[in-house]
């Protein structure tokens, strides 16, 4: 059953702030006066951070006085910092925020003073606050970490993801995976990394990742990443793979043939686009724009209505990134199934017919089921699953979306195109499908790696096989699968690895 009762209102995405260190902007945030404590920070880093903050419109005081509202320190010894502060003869000390550098870096990243949270505070009574989670407890497997959508280390993980993608485009698997794993570890931390020391006992971080972290800590950016972002080949492959139906192999082929833009491709008579790619270009503007949660919910209602019209006992579940609590996604993923085993294929076909009759199906690629329990277990690590599924582009009317469509200002249309995936497993495979399609991709990779390396088991979207006992392990729910693997249950919203 699809529930839309908890539908939240969509939020506008913040625009990335343009950083300029050399320019001295006017003060923008008049009620925040920062003082950077030089102890432990050192005078050159303090000067650098002062300039950085001022260039973004923050007021930074050179002298600690009662005018200061936010004291920022890199000193992890709370007791010695407080002893020093108390010796400064301030009348307003009890009114000041005494903050860890992570508040400062968060504010620089956001381009505004962020709200002070408990994790930012250097509290008098606490002797140590530098790394609130003991790093020794961080597992090398994403399926043993809890990763919400709040990423405290985006500045590093964004850089790692560019590097991973660049290695992927060059088909260099080792470093690609290493950067993906490192990004995933940093995403799981409930605190922001503000010195290299804080990462020393974390798993999956090596020489290369640490060098990138250090550069970002010192300069606010990575020159290696900037070089990649400015690289023509990277930019072109990134552009081409952003089209629905275009993978890295096709993108590379087009690049080698001298194509550099969409118009190059569309003007080249010898390039034959398949149906998916044609629709990808046709609806590019819409489907390259993020889908909001409210839009995902509206689509859930449309599919739910179609499913109910076919059979009242069918099951419909929202999966993918939206099940993990993401605010935006690139598509909307649903599982549909029915207790009548063997009816999965026809269920999908019936849904497609209904959407077609409503005139809202802009594209549909339907794949019939090739699922065969006797061909399991599969030893292929990242094999696609064999269930009946369809990849759709659906026309979504704005009037159906609470808060309206996610559209550009200039776009006055009352509809947009949205990518939707439907997968239809037999009911007894439901738990495995739900776990596999909820993602994230890194979470799934590590679940499978954990099963193989730690438990001698094979897990995929169809089944869990115990190689020691030589038998399949049955599961009705995701919790059953975690229990078979001897793992603590991780909620969907904690799987944003």
Q: Give the footprint of ligand UTP on residues 380-409 (CB under 6 A).
A: 384-385
156 vs 432 by CB, closer to ligand UTP: 432
Q: Say if CB 58 and CB 29 are below 8 A apart.
A: yes
Shortest gap between Cβ of 371 and Mg ion (angstroms)? 21
75 vs 385 by CB, closer to ligand UTP: 385
Q: Give the footprint of ligand UTP on residues 36-95 (CB under 6 A).
A: none
Size of site (CB under 5 A) for Mg ion: 5
Q: Which stretch binds ligand UTP (CB under 6 A): 16-24, 93-101, 334-342, 433-441?
A: 433-441
75 vs 344 by CB, closer to ligand UTP: 344
Please give the DSSP secondary-structure letter assigned to residue 23.
Answer: S
Distance CA 181, CA 448 (A): 14
Given candidates 331, 344, 446, 478, which one binds ligand UTP under the rule CB under 6 A? 331
Angle at 405 between CA 402 and CA 407, to 5 degrees: 155
Residue 436 binds ligand UTP (CB under 6 A): yes
460 interface partner picked from Mg ion, ligand UTP, none, CB below 5 to 8 A per type: none
Residue 441 binds ligand UTP (CB under 6 A): yes
Residue with the two structure tokens 């996610």: 406
What are the phi and psi torsion angles at 417 (to 5°)? -90, 140
Question: 250: alpha, beta or left, given left = phi > 0 and alpha = psi -120 to 50?
Answer: alpha
Q: Say if CB 315 and CB 343 are below 8 A apart.
A: no
b/e per residue, 422-446, with b = 16+ CB within 10 A?
Answer: bbbbbbebbbbbbbbbbbbebbbbb
444 interface partner picked from Mg ion, ligand UTP, none, CB below 5 to 8 A per type: ligand UTP
Residue 492 binds Mg ion (CB under 5 A): no
Q: Which residues are catalytic?
A: 331, 333, 421
Shortest gap between Cβ of 152 and Mg ion (angstroms)? 23
Residue 439 binds ligand UTP (CB under 6 A): yes
Q: Which of 317, 353, 324 is nearest to 427 (CA)?
A: 317
Distance CA 73, CA 101 (A): 6
Shortest gap between Cβ of 350 and Mg ion (angstroms)? 23
Binding mask 318-347 for Mg ion (x = CB under 5 A): --xx-------x-x-x--------------
Non-local (6+) Cβ contacts of 409 within 8 A are none
Q: CA dist 379 to 96, 148, 415, Å?
A: 59, 30, 44
Shortest gap between Cβ of 92 and Mg ion (angstroms)? 50
Residue 329 binds ligand UTP (CB under 6 A): yes
| Residues near ligand UTP, by CB under 6 A | 320-321, 326, 329-331, 333, 384-385, 436-437, 439-441, 444, 461
């Amino acid at each position: 059953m699809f529930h839309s009762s908890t539908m939240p209102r969509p939020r506008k995405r913040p625009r990335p702030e343009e950083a300029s260190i050399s320019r001295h902007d006017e003060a923008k945030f008049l009620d925040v006066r920062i003082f950077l404590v030089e102890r432990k920070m050192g005078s050159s880093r303090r000067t650098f951070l002062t300039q950085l903050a001022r260039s973004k419109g923050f007021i930074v005081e050179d002298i600690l006085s009662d005018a200061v509202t936010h004291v920022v320190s890199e000193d992890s010894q709370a007791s010695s910092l407080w002893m020093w502060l108390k010796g400064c003869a301030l009348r307003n000390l009890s009114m000041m925020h005494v903050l860890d550098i992570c508040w400062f870096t968060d504010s620089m990243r956001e381009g505004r003073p962020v709200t002070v949270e408990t994790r930012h505070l250097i509290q008098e009574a606490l002797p140590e606050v530098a790394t609130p989670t003991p790093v020794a407890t961080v597992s090398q497997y994403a399926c043993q970490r809890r990763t919400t959508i709040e990423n405290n280390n985006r500045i590093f993980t964004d850089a790692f993801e560019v590097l991973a993608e660049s290695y992927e485009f060059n088909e260099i698997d080792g470093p690609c995976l290493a950067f993906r794993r490192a990004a995933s570890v940093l995403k799981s931390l409930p605190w922001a990394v503000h010195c290299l020391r804080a990462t020393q006992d974390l798993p999956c971080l090596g020489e290369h990742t640490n060098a990138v972290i250090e550069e970002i800590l010192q300069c606010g950016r990575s020159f290696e990443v900037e070089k990649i972002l400015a690289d023509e080949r990277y930019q072109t492959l990134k552009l081409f793979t952003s089209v629905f139906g275009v993978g890295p192999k096709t993108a590379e082929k087009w690049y080698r043939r001298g194509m550099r833009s969409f118009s190059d491709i569309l003007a080249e008579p010898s390039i034959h686009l398949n149906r998916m790619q044609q629709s990808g270009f046709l609806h590019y503007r819409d489907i390259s724009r993020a889908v909001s949660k409210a839009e995902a919910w509206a689509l859930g209602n449309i599919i739910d209505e179609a499913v109910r019209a076919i059979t009242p006992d069918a099951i419909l579940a929202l999966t993918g990134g939206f099940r993990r609590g993401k605010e935006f996604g690139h598509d909307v993923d649903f599982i549909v199934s029915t207790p009548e085993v063997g009816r999965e294929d026809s269920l999908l076909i019936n849904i497609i017919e209904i959407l077609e009759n409503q005139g809202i199906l802009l594209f549909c690629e339907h794949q019939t089921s090739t699922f065969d329990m006797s061909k399991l277990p599969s030893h292929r690590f990242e094999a696609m699953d064999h269930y009946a599924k369809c990849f759709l582009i659906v026309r979504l009317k704005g009037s159906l979306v609470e808060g309206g469509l996610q559209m550009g200002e200039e776009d006055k249309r009352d509809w947009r195109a949205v990518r939707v995936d439907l997968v239809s497993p037999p009911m007894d495979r439901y738990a495995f499908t739900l776990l596999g399609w909820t993602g994230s991709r890194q979470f799934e990779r590590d679940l499978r790696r954990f099963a193989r390396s730690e438990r001698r088991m094979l897990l995929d979207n169809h089944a869990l096989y115990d190689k020691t006992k030589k038998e399949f392990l049955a599961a009705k729910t995701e919790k059953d699968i975690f229990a078979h693997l001897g793992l603590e249950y991780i909620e969907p919203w904690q799987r944003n690895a």
